[in-house]
């Protein structure tokens, strides 16, 4: 059953350290840069930060490829900087959550170097090794046809022992073998080390993949252009992984007053969600799924027979409702619009060109009034957009680097660029737009990831000076959620969709014994009809007189307290 915990009423903020703020002007963001921005973060009103990985890493996947879990990568700073960051955040009542990468390491991690050195090395079974197959012509092939997320096969050949290691992400990210109790103990040690250093919890990376189909049989799915089967079921949400997580919980997490949110990704159903994050699951406190972030704005245009962007509002509501109803009274949810793996939400469900302020503040209103702990992704609070890159080399993401050649064999550069500007993970990884100074005020030198040219218009400095900016809306909404008379109902109240069948408006009530608050959000760039009720206006993003039954303006949001019955 539910006990009230500090992280339930927290408002989270995700920081991508590489492009947040560069304090030493080497073009890469760093921990000292985050420390310098803690006052800004505090003023925004959030009280929990999740910082992306800053462990030692060759940066094949921007730090998710860890080569030493116990140290800070020099591009980000030192262990002392990490200690200072934790202390400075705590001084401001901000909790600090790190990214814990349990599924894989870098191939430059000491364990892997040992593991690959010989078949009888004591660390051999820290990773997953299999012999290849030989076809009729005598060609050596991977052990099976499974595909990986980032490039081709889920296996990579290693000469030293003439075997393949499993890697569901890039070749430089060998998968750890969670079936091995020794390896599990090592990872628990990593978690304890950071908790003992004072962090308040973890966002646990790629948690859905810790168990694999150990029969290693081929998948029957049709092969992709890369010649592999994209069969994630072979290594996602498999029942065995819950025993690992339960053990992790019992041996480590339950010993601390910490918060954990697992990254479950796509394809998880409610049953798995409850396994990861039910109150009594002995697992995590919450689990991120991707269901609402991906492609809920793609429809087929019958005129051109091509896909175009139109938000499928009813589907979006159905997805949110599925998780909220399903977890109701059983477990807690995180809420978020995007993270560093997804395109910018304003470019996806808003309209950054015609209704930047309106759609940005509308999306923020929904995020901050849904049940669950909200996580804002850095830059979202000023309505940062997808990239405007015109050169394919401006994209840095490992997925793009590994796949662009193949994509170009099958499509034109124009189409590939369109696709990348719409979907690439780099959309969310551009330098934080602090001001209209060169490089968006992120650094004094050319940043590691190219800035978006709209920083002269969209930046923190400007929005701090305007009373009706997206940033000011986020501040007000966070305040409403954390400190107002509506705090209790917004954090702990029940949820109920209003006019679920409406095609354009996402409307719902949050209610408890004392209050009923209705959130009415127009997801369209045009005026729509909606039965706006009588009540007290708590927040809107248009300045105008309110009346019952008024039409909603483009991307208008109204938060209203209804008369309680
Ligand atoms: C999920 C992380 O969010 C993503 O950025 C990373 O590439 C993969 N896990 C692999 O660690």
Q: What is the pLDDT of residue 549?
A: 84
Q: What is the pLDDT of residues 467-486, one digit of tens each?
A: 999 999 999 999 999 999 99
The model's confidence at residue 295, banded by pLDDT at 50, 70 and 90, is confident
Catalytic residue among 231, 263, 451, 556: 263
276 vs 272: CA distance, rounded Å: 6
101 C-alpha vs ligand 1 centroid, how far in Å? 8
Whether 263 is a known active-site residue: answer yes
Query: CB neighbours of 187 closer than 8 A, spacing ≥ 6?
Result: 102, 176, 248
107 C-beta closer than 6 A to ligand 1: no
Q: What is the pLDDT of residue 565?
A: 64
Ligand 1 pocket mutation pick from 18, 54, 64, 266 by most atoms within 8 angstroms of CB: 64
205 C-alpha vs ligand 1 centroid, how far in Å? 6
Query: CB neighbours of 369 closer than 8 A, spacing ≥ 6?
Result: 477, 481, 490, 510, 517, 519, 559
The model's confidence at residue 155, banded by pLDDT at 50, 70 and 90, is very high
263 C-beta closer than 6 A to ligand 1: yes
Q: Which whole number is the average pLDDT over 544-550?
A: 86
Ligand 1 atom closest to 425 (CA): 5
**Among protein residues, the one whose CA lies closest to atom 5 of ligand 1:** 341
Is residue 562 over pLDDT 70? yes
Q: What is the pLDDT of residues 497-539, one digit of tens each?
A: 999 999 999 999 999 999 999 999 999 999 999 999 999 999 9
How, if at all, do strands 373-377 and 494-498 pair? unpaired
Specify whether the CB–CB gap between 54 and 35 falls below 8 A.
no
Q: What is the pLDDT of residues 486-498, one digit of tens each?
A: 999 999 999 999 9
Is residue 446 over pLDDT 70? yes
99 C-beta closer than 6 A to ligand 1: no
Is residue 82 over pLDDT 90? yes
- Compute the 3-state secondary structure of the chain and give helix, strand, coil in percent, each to the nearest 5: 35, 20, 45
Q: Which whole number is the average pLDDT over 460-470?
A: 98
Is residue 265 over pLDDT 90? no
164 C-alpha vs ligand 1 centroid, how far in Å? 22
The model's confidence at residue 241, banded by pLDDT at 50, 70 and 90, is very high
Ligand 1 atom closest to 265 (CA): 1
Q: What is the pLDDT of residue 430?
A: 98
- Give the three-state DSSP class for 444: coil
**Among protein residues, the one whose CA lies closest to atom 6 of ligand 1:** 64
Is residue 450 over pLDDT 90? yes
Q: What is the mean pLDDT of the chain?
A: 96
Closest by alpha carbon to 506, among 489, 523, 487? 523
pTM: 0.97
Q: What is the pLDDT of residues 4-43, one digit of tens each?
A: 999 999 999 999 999 999 999 999 999 999 999 999 999 9
194 C-beta closer than 6 A to ligand 1: no
Q: What is the pLDDT of residue 127?
A: 98
Q: Which whole number is the average pLDDT over 536-550?
A: 91
280 C-alpha vs ligand 1 centroid, how far in Å? 27
Whether 205 is a known active-site residue: answer yes
206 C-alpha vs ligand 1 centroid, how far in Å? 7
> First CA to last CA across the chain, in angstroms?
28
Catalytic residue among 205, 351, 451, 556: 205
């Amino acid at each position: 059953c539910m006990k009230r915990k500090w992280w339930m009423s927290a408002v989270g903020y995700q920081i991508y350290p590489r492009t947040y703020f560069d304090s030493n002007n080497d073009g890469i963001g760093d921990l000292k840069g985050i420390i310098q921005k803690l006052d800004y973060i505090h003023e925004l009103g959030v009280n929990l930060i999740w910082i992306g990985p800053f462990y030692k890493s060759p940066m094949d996947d921007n730090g998710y490829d860890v080569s030493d879990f116990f140290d800070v990568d020099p591009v980000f700073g030192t262990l002392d900087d990490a200690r200072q960051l934790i202390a400075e955040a705590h001084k401001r009542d901000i909790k600090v959550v790190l990214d814990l990468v349990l599924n894989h390491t870098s191939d430059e991690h000491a364990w892997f170097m040992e593991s690959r050195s010989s078949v009888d090395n004591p660390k051999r079974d820290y990773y997953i090794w299999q012999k290849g197959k030989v076809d009729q012509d005598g060609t050596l092939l991977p052990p099976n046809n499974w595909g990986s997320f980032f490039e081709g096969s889920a296996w990579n050949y290693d000469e030293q022992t003439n075997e393949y290691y499993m890697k569901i992400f890039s070749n430089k990210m060998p998968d750890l073998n969670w079936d091995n109790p020794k390896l599990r103990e090592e990872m628990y040690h990593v978690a304890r080390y950071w908790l003992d250093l004072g962090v308040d919890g973890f966002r646990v990376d790629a948690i859905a993949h810790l168990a694999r189909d150990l029969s290693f049989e081929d998948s029957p799915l049709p092969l992709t252009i890369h010649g592999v089967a994209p069969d994630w079921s072979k290594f996602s949400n498999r029942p065995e992984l819950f025993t690992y997580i339960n053990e992790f919980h019992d041996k480590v997490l339950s010993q601390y007053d910490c918060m954990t949110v697992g990254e479950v990704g796509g394809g998880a159903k409610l049953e798995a969600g409850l396994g990861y994050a039910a109150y009594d699951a002995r697992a995590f406190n919450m689990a991120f799924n991707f269901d609402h972030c991906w492609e809920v704005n793609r429809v087929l245009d019958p005129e051109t027979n091509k896909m175009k962007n139109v938000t499928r509002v009813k589907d979006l509501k159905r997805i949110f409702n599925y998780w909220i109803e399903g977890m109701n009274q059983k477990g807690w949810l995180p809420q978020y619009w995007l993270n560093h793996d997804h395109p910018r939400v304003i470019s996806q469900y808003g309209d950054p060109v015609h209704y930047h302020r309106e759609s940005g503040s509308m999306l923020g209103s929904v995020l901050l009034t849904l049940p669950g702990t909200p996580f804002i992704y850095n830059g979202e609070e000023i309505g940062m957009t997808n990239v405007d890159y015109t050169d394919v080399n401006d994209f840095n993401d490992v997925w793009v680097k590994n796949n662009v050649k193949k994509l170009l064999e099958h499509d034109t550069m124009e189409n590939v660029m369109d696709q990348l500007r719409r979907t690439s993970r780099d959309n969310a990884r551009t330098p934080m737009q602090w001001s209209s100074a060169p490089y968006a005020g992120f650094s004094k030198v050319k940043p590691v990831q190219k800035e978006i040219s709209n920083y002269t218009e969209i930046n923190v400095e400007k929005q701090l000076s305007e009373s009706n900016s997206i940033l000011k809306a986020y501040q007000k909404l966070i305040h409403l959620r954390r400190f107002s008379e509506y705090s209790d109902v917004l954090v702990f109240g029940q949820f109920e969709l209003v006019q679920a069948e409406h095609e354009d408006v996402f409307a719902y009530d949050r209610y408890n014994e004392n209050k009923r608050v209705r959130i009415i959000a127009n997801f369209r760039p045009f005026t729509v009809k909606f039965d706006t009720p009588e009540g007290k206006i708590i927040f809107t993003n248009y300045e105008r007189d309110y009346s019952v039954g008024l039409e909603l303006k483009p991307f208008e949001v109204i938060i209203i307290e209804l008369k309680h019955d």
